[in-house]
Amino acid sequence: MPFVSMRRAMLAPLALLALVAALPASPAAAAARAPGDDFKWSVVPSSPKGPTVRSRFEYGLKPGEEVADWVAVSNLGKKALKVAVYATDAFNADDGGFALLPANQPPKDVGAWVTLPRKEYTVPVGKRVDIPFKVKIPANAEPGDHIGGLIASATESTTNAEGQQVNVERRVASRIYLRVDGPVRPVAQITKIDVAYANPAIPFGGGDMTVTYHVANTGNVRFSGKARIQVRGPLGVRVANSDVIDVPELLPDSEVRITRKLEGVFPAGRLSAEVTVNPQLEGQNMASLSESRSMWAMPWLIVVLVLLIVAALVLWLWRRRRSRRLAAEAELIGATEAVGAGSRARGVVLAAVALGALAAPGAIEPSPTAEVEIQVSIAPAATPTPTASPTPTTSPPPGGGGGGGDLPRTGLAIGAFVVAGAALVGGGAGLRVLGRRRRPA
């Protein structure tokens, strides 16, 4: 969230001013060590009779309530220790670590609710100082967790690598966990995901994918949790996943950035990195969160090989189809030429027949020099005689006497006409066949 990021951007540089900020989980760990063990001290919860078994200060109070407690500062070094004791607010560093405001930044939360009798204390070598303090909850305090720490800091003058005299502040703190009664609102959010992929030239071994995500606490109580990253390819096929990732304890109004590198991720094309966070509130699971970010990771070597194979296959199919088409065209042209030759032969035969038929009547007709003599004699009617007797048929006299005329032989003329008509029909049919065969397709 924007306000979380702004606060972290403001607090992180200030926290760097404290060169030592030991945040103990147990009294033994609550110690700072200076060069040569001259300065070493611890800060732990205490009582009027000395330290207790507590490792931190924990309170549950209502608005307007007040609690009194003790803190012990022990000098474990070889010189007398002069420390400044004060309370301040806590926040999460970029890596999720527990951090406290620097001394020059005044607290506004639980650190401002703590009062001490005085600020500076001197602790002899091997001695302990039990310091009383009070925590007063404002009447308008917001419900939820308020986290801070009690700090004992010592400033030492030392020489740096360049020979300059510098003052180094070393701090040791004991944590304060205060919960104000009221409605509890645990809210976790995944605010940002960044994915970077190193695409290898040879994709078979896979490449490294770096996933960076931000988890923010926008509620009013602290939580921790577990997270996992899964990388999926096309059709949701899982190509990589991370181990279980611990989400550090997130304080209210804080954000943590977590980065993980996944090795051997195959560039399967469109890759989707999904981050799943399971927050846990005091041992109880909260609602699971999931966010994803997609990117392209192409196996270029495989893509080039596939394209070459496809191009070769297309070329082979094209050449095969072209050869088949040319063979079919050649076969069709041969068959057409054969049919045309047969048709031309038939047309020639029919034309010859037609010409022969046309010439036949001339052969049948008598030539001008030939003489064909046909005589027809018609006898005059005879006068009847008393005795009827058959009239003898006498042969016509030679020379065509008797006054008769010449008549044509009509049977021969009709036959010649029929033959000539058939010849014309056959010749026309032959010429038509020849015309059709020569016509282009």
Mean pLDDT score, 113-141: 95
Residues ≥6 apart with Cβ < 8 Å to 17: 102, 103, 104, 169
The tens digit of pLDDT for each residue in 61-79 reads 999 999 999 999 999 999 8
The tens digit of pLDDT for each residue in 263-294 reads 999 999 999 999 999 999 887 788 999 999 99
Q: Quick one: pLDDT at residue 129?
A: 95
Question: Using 50, 70 and 90 to split pLDDT, how confident is the model at 112?
Answer: very high
The tens digit of pLDDT for each residue in 26-57 reads 333 445 544 446 789 999 999 999 998 999 99
Q: Quick one: pLDDT at residue 201?
A: 87
Residue 197: helix, strand or coil by DSSP? strand
- Phi, psi angle pair for 19, to nearest 5°: -75, -25
C-beta of residue 157 within 8 angstroms of C-beta of residue 165: yes
Radius of gyration of the chain (CA): 62
Among 8-22, 85-99, 279-293, 326-340, top mean pLDDT goes to 85-99
Mean pLDDT score, 234-263: 93
Helix (H) or strand (E) holding 429: helix 410-438
Q: Quick one: pLDDT at residue 17?
A: 38
For the cut 90, the answer to whether the pLDDT of residue 128 exceeds it is yes
Q: Which two tokens stand for residue 349?
A: 């035969």
Q: Which residue has the higher pLDDT, 125 or 426?
A: 125
The tens digit of pLDDT for each residue in 143-201 reads 999 999 999 999 887 788 888 888 888 999 999 999 999 999 999 999 999 999 999 98
Q: Which two tokens stand for residue 295?
A: 């990117």
Share of the chain above pLDDT 90, in %: 53
How far apart are the C-alpha atoms of 364 and 357, rounded to whole Å?
A: 11
For the cut 80, the answer to whether the pLDDT of residue 404 exceeds it is no
Q: Which two tokens stand for residue 172?
A: 């040791």
How far apart are the C-alpha atoms of 278 and 283, rounded to whole Å?
A: 12
Q: Quick one: pLDDT at residue 337?
A: 72
